[in-house]
Amino acid sequence: MSFISSVSRRPTPAFVVSSLAAGLLLAASSASAATFNGSGAITTDYVWRGTTQTQGDPAVQASFKATAENGLYGSIWGSNVEFAPETKASSELDVTVGWSGNVAEDWALDVNLTHYRYPSTTVDLNWTEAIGTLTWKQNYWAQLGYSNDALATDEAGAYAQLGAKFPLSEQVRLEAAAGYYWLDDAYNDSYAHAQLGAVWAFKAPFELRVTAHATDSSAKALFPDLAGSRVEAALQASF
């Protein structure tokens, strides 16, 4: 989540999402046939929806996910961040509760509630978003997100993304995505971004990813020095 200046905000019920995630993780842990997975990554830049979250600096990221037999899941994802100096933000924890599963032949759906939390800040940057992703044949997806507190502004915002994977071999694939973020209520403007990446699964469970990002001029006006064109490289592993 990009942050430009400090905002005085009313407290948000973050504990609700956190409690739901903790309960779902516990339920999934105790359920028979529950599955567990996670990931770790080292990246040269943490880029989210076209904008850097680390001022262009490297990031270390990790996640853990527990999925119950019925498709309910809970996950926790973390990374270091660097926003405006006055926020003293240094870490991000994303707590997610949701459901995923097949809804028809070749079609899968994921619906979740994601809470973005920044525990080290001196101001309240925490916010929550509802996200739905429809996937076709595991390689093409459409995503919609909505929050009535987008980017912790107390204003509504919506996000849409279309993406695709293009396998070139068993080890190499290309990935492309384009997104649009409606932030008129919060910032009187909206912006578009796109990304194109190459992934090399050189040795299981490791992958090397290189991604080029680009944003439009509105993003550069909204988030100076954070948006624009940039390239990130990441080494990641799943377990």
What is the chain's Cα-based Rg? 18
- Name residue, tokens 């996950």: 75
What is the CATH code of the structural domain delimited by 14-238? 2.40.160.40
Q: Rounded distance, CA 74 to CA 67, Å? A: 7
Identify whether the C-beta of residue 156 lies closer than 8 Å to the C-beta of residue 137: no
Residue 110 bridge partners (DSSP):
100, 133
Distance CA 142, CA 177 (A): 10
In this predicted structure, what is the pLDDT of residue 179?
98
112 vs 71: CA distance, rounded Å = 11
Q: What is the mean pLDDT of each run of 10 residues along the chain (239 residues)?
A: 40 51 56 86 98 98 97 98 92 98 98 96 95 98 98 98 98 98 98 98 97 98 96 97
H helices then E strands: how many in the chain? 3, 14
Instruction: Locate the domains of the chain by residue range.
Output: 14-238
What are the percentages of helix, strand and coil residues in the chain, rounded to 5?
15, 55, 30
The one-letter amino acid at 111:
V
- Please tell me the pTM assigned to this model: 0.89
Selection from 53, 173, 180, 30 nearest residue 125 by Cα: 53
What are the tokens at 3?
Answer: 């942050």
Q: How many CB atoms lie within 10 A of CB 127?
A: 23
What is the reported pLDDT for 17?
A: 55
DSSP 49: T
Q: What length is written for the chain?
A: 239
